[in-house]
Amino acid sequence: MTLLKKSTKIQFYTLMDAKIQTMDDDKVYLSKEGFSDLREKLGDLKTRRRIEIAQHLEFAKSLGDLSENAEYAEAKDEQMVNESEILKLEDLLARAEIISHTMTPEVRIGSTVFFERQGSRQQFVIVSKEEADPLKGKISHESPLGKAFLGRKKNEKILVSTPKGQQEYHIIDVG
């Protein structure tokens, strides 16, 4: 893996798939829970996962000739992916700004939004893209829906463009 530093961006070039991932020096907004989860994942990658990969490498080495050893090549690929993920998480956590939820009248990152759409009452929490999980009611502030709700207040009605066309949302409450 090669690291190149250009002004405020770090680019990671992975030889395996020739994809380029760019990470800005911009802040990443995380909840305390999200920060803790990512830190835990990083710890797991640095300890348990590295040990598993080292064991896989040792086993692959025991099979003989490394130049034609698919098991060894696979283990080296696993190692590269793991180390890339570690770098990504370290960068993300270094740029993290933990958001403390405060009650405000308008929707912000960390707000729980209670709304009505097509007669159905629902809720979700506005979070960063790193914490987003729509199935758990967490949507990114960078998503079209998240962007549409940011800065809005209780009792506002908004129109959001979706793949199914314009959808109207009525904000019932902001928590």
pLDDT digits (tens, 9 = 90+) for 81-91: 999 999 999 99
Long-range contacts of 117-121 (CB under 8 A, 24+ apart): 117/167, 117/168, 117/169, 117/170, 118/167, 121/172
Q: What percent of the chain has pLDDT over 90?
A: 60
Host H or E run for residue 33: helix 32-44
What digits encode the pLDDT tens for the residues 138-164?
999 999 899 999 999 999 999 988 888
pLDDT at 103 over 80: no
108, 150 in Cβ contact below 8 A? yes
Question: Is-same-fold flag (28-98; 112-174)?
Answer: no
pLDDT at 24 over 90: no
Specify the CATH number of the domain 28-98.
1.10.287.180
Residue 23 phi/psi, 5-degree rounding, is -120, 125
- From the number of C-beta atoms within 10 Å of its C-beta (0-12, 13-18, 19+), residue 47 rates as exposed
Mean pLDDT of the chain: 84
Helix (H, G, I), strand (E, B) or coil at 148: helix
- The structure tokens listed for 48 are 């348990």
Domain 112-174 classified CATH 3.10.50.30?
yes
Number of H helices, E strands in the chain: 4, 10
- Domain spans of the chain, in order of start: 28-98, 112-174
56, 78 in Cβ contact below 8 A? yes
Sheet architecture: strand order including 120-127: 138-140, 120-127, 112-117, 165-174, 157-162
pTM for the complete prediction?
A: 0.67
Host H or E run for residue 115: strand 112-117
- The structure tokens listed for 149 are 């709700």
Task: Find which of 28-32, 43-47, 118-122, 161-165 is predicted with most confidence, using mean pLDDT.
Answer: 43-47
Of residues 69 and 157, more confidence is placed in: 157
> How confident is residue 15, by pLDDT bands cut at 50, 70 and 90?
very low
Host H or E run for residue 139: strand 138-140
What is the predicted pLDDT for the residue at 2? 37
> How confident is residue 25, by pLDDT bands cut at 50, 70 and 90?
low
Rounded to the nearest angstrom, the gap between the alpha carbon of residue 113 and the centroid of all alpha carbons in its chain is 21
